[in-house]
Structure 1
């Protein structure tokens, strides 16, 4: 099993460091480059929500990111210690029928995360949110 693990500060500026590490990891594993695009986009959405909504600007929080592959599937976990929140059930359902100007804000990014992955789930474990993402490599 090949793995990348990172601990991020609860700051949006950390997204660039994460993106570079994900691109490097995927290239070194010989995996298709579109996986980097998919995972970076999903990480951006999840971590932006954690920092912008979960942290509430209060205190410092750590966000742990794990990315691993067995050659058949690329799996990721995003773990945080903010208030309990399941993005796949607690986020508002996006309005996909209205034009952009009349849509309410919220839910579209998480909807896209679910569409970009083969599996996406959430659990609360030991006072932490853990979001799992997985995509076949071939």
Structure 2
């Protein structure tokens, strides 16, 4: 049996602080090193901030569900929302990694960091909902 966590957030970036605390607790309970919490929180911050900022043109209240599971070999995460359909891994602009930071266009770097931080990052749309799946091997 592994360690599990499910957190339901309002579509408000202020909720990221509550999520970060829950992720830190999950990582500690699973006996994982703190850098795992850092990677997960970085990914959630990027993905959820983008969803809240761009995914809800109606301005209404919506729920974003985050699930985590660790089984000793791998940590799997899912972010589920009812925002506008958007695959961050194919639709986000590619980052400009060559320009000077002061002249670099905004956008794309966060999704790039998600993909670099995780072993797997996938998206699918199902039943009117966005589902982002992340996976990270448990460090030895």
In which range does the TM-score fall when normalised by the shorter chain? over 0.9
What is residue 91 of structure 1 aligned with on the other side? 92
Q: CA deviation at 1:92?
A: 0.4
Provide closer, same or farther for how the CA distance between residues 57 and 105 of structure 1 changes in structure 2, counting only shifts above 3 A: farther
1:28-107 equivalence runs, <5 A: 28-56=29-57, 58-107=59-108
CA contact (8 A) 1:124 1:130 kept: yes
CA contact (8 A) 1:32 1:137 kept: no
- Where do 4+ consecutive residues of structure 1 move more than 6 Å? none
What is residue 137 of structure 2 aligned with on the other side? 136
Q: CA deviation at 1:103?
A: 1.2
Q: CA deviation at 1:2?
A: 2.2
TM-score (norm 1): 0.97
Matched residue pairs, number? Answer: 138
Work out the CA distance in 2 between the residues paired with 1:99 and 1:57. 36
- Structure 1, gaps ≥5 residues long: none
**Residues 66-125 of structure 1: CA deviation (Å, up to 9, x unaligned):** 000111000100000011000000000111111112211110000010000000110001
TM-score (norm 2): 0.96
RMSD: 0.9
